[in-house]
Amino acid sequence: MSRYWSPIVDTLKPYVAGEQPRIRNLVKLNTNENPYGPSPKVLAAIRAAADDGLRLYPDPSATVLREAIAARFGVQPDEVFAGNGSDEVLAHTFQALLKHDKPLLYPDITYSFYPTYSRLYDIEAVEIPLDEAFRIRLADYDRSCGAIIIPNPNAPTGVALSLAEIETLVAGHADAPVVIDEAYIDFGGETAAGLISRYPNLLVVQTLSKSRSLAGMRVGFALGQRPLIDALERVKDSFNSYPLDRLAQVAATAAVEDVDWFETCRHKIIATRERLTGELERLGFEVLPSQANFVFARHPDLPGAEVYAGLRAEGVLVRHWNKPRIADHLRISIGTDAECERLIEVLKSLP
Ligand code: PMP
């Protein structure tokens, strides 16, 4: 039979998203969502915008949202690019910036969309192994490349680089774009947003899905100097990707502006993470030092698949990783205190 598609399609490694089960009373600790709802001001903004204005197309430039993000990060609105979740922002980044004759570098292991996008856009990638402590070793990136992309903190490990280390990486590759994916930065890391005015090769990508509890709305953004942001805009407008819808724009603006809610929720999550880490260690788990809203853990004597299944049977859903370099690890999103206590209770009851 003839094949009507490009050979690349056969080599794609599609991203496998975490489960979103329909059962509502699960303790859902598998996809790094925020256990606290979005700010009440966000809900009020959505209600206020849910009127007959919905017959109008949204502002294609998301001007008000970009102004709010710019004010929050001390940049200009034209140094902000907004998209439907940071996954879309990252897709445009791969399309716009990463197609070079030299390879793209990213860690092995890391966010699994990077290999997916590399295949899809036919970008040569070199995966740089983490060290034995699952840390990114900067010296390994000291090589000629077309671009670098790193999540900080890394996923699914939760281990972060310091701001000084990020600056060393960006400064050391002045001729290549360096993309820092800060999906989890608000849970203990230090954002590189303040470096943008000094480094034209730096692009910082963030999401409202985690620390601002808006995963269901799909809003992400990138910060960078104008030429980089213009490149993303050109790709977006050539691609006919949809602008953020009207409700997403007002919700995201209210979320960025409600700093009190953001601060309260992220600090609660950090405190719960520290407690959960201690409890898991008391049960014999090895837990990586996390600066994210999840922990990455394994038990030296218990097969991860069995722990996963035992938890699942009791209604507690976590993510099990069994790739070669991270065999038998569990990634546990930080829930409320009650949800994490339930997790510990079930772990204690497992045979
Ligand atoms: N980057 C990393 C490292 C992530 O883990 C995620 C969430 N899966 C994303 C980006 C994408 O987040 P979103 O599309 O919800 O903004």
Q: What is the dihedral of CA 88, 327, 31, 291, to 10 degrees?
A: -90
Q: Please state the pTM of the whole predicted model.
A: 0.96
The identity of residue 66, as a single letter, is R
Query: Which among 317, 312, 274, 319 has a CA at the least distance from the CA of 293?
Result: 274
Q: What are the pLDDT tens digits along the chain (351 aa)?
A: 677 888 888 888 888 888 888 777 899 999 999 999 999 999 999 999 999 999 999 999 999 999 999 999 999 999 999 999 999 999 999 999 886 789 999 999 999 999 999 999 989 999 999 999 999 999 999 999 999 999 999 999 999 999 999 999 999 999 999 999 999 999 999 999 999 999 999 999 999 999 999 999 999 999 999 999 999 999 998 876 678 999 999 999 999 999 999 999 999 999 999 999 999 999 999 999 999 999 999 999 999 999 999 999 999 999 999 887 788 899 999 999 999 999 999 999 987
- Adjacent-strand bridge partners of 298: 286
By most ligand atoms within 8 Å of CB, the mutation choice from 16, 86, 208 for ligand 1 is: 86
CA of 220 from ligand 1 middle (Å) equals 9
CA of 109 from ligand 1 middle (Å) equals 15
243 C-beta closer than 6 A to ligand 1? no
181 C-beta closer than 6 A to ligand 1? yes
CA of 350 from ligand 1 middle (Å) equals 32
220 C-beta closer than 6 A to ligand 1? yes
Q: Is the ipTM of this complex over 0.95?
A: yes
Alpha-carbon distance of 313 to 237, in angstroms, equals 47
